[in-house]
Amino acid sequence: MKKLLIFGYGNPGRGDDAIGPLFVEQVSRWNREEISYLSDMQLLVEHVTDLHAHNEVIVVDADMTCIEPFEFLPIVAFKDESCTSHTLTPAGLLYVYQQIYQCDSPTTFLLRIRGYNFSLGEVLSEKAACNLNTAVQFITQKYL
């Protein structure tokens, strides 16, 4: 059976940076056996073990530079500067995966949802909430 992981990351205490975890919260209501859901504040090397049992991964993050309302693009493993740090980029995470498991990483997409306000202590902005809802609808149509 094809297994999908939806992994949202971001800091819920920084306004629109909460988009990744909020996305996971919404789509986890699907409660589908073939889909796993995960959220965290950042990508860590330990997350390679979470990818291992999946054929496909969607990494969800807030981004203040992507087009509105979101971008959904494939990503590939790439050894970048993050590979030697505590937090990883999605491409860096895939690179570490390949180094550890000595095989190709799962097919992975990055869902970048446009955010605007990442200030500490802020709540999700209205515009970001609209972008989040549009992205949830898109992924729902694509995967359900």
Name the domain count of the chain.
Answer: 1
Tens-digit pLDDT profile for residues 81-116: 776 666 799 999 999 999 999 999 999 999 999 999
Task: State the pLDDT at residue 86.
Answer: 65
Residue 36 reports pLDDT greater than 80:
yes
Tens-digit pLDDT profile for residues 37-57: 999 999 999 999 999 989 999
Give the span between the Cα atoms of 115 and 99, in whole angstroms: 32
Residue 50 amino acid letter = D
Tens-digit pLDDT profile for residues 55-75: 999 999 999 999 999 999 999
This prediction's pTM: 0.95
Helix residue ranges per DSSP H, 1-144: 19-27, 48-51, 90-101, 126-143
Closest CA to 36 of 17, 52, 16: 52
Q: Decide: residue 78, CB within 10 A, 0-12 exposed, 13-18 middle, 19+ buried.
A: middle
Residue 31 reports pLDDT greater than 90:
no
Strand ranges (E), the chain: 4-9, 35-40, 56-63, 70-75, 107-114
Query: Where residue 40 sits, what CATH number does that domain have?
Result: 3.40.50.1450
Task: State the pLDDT at residue 80.
Answer: 82
Task: State the pLDDT at residue 87.
Answer: 78
List the domain range (segments joined by +) for residue 50: 4-143
Residue 94 amino acid letter = L
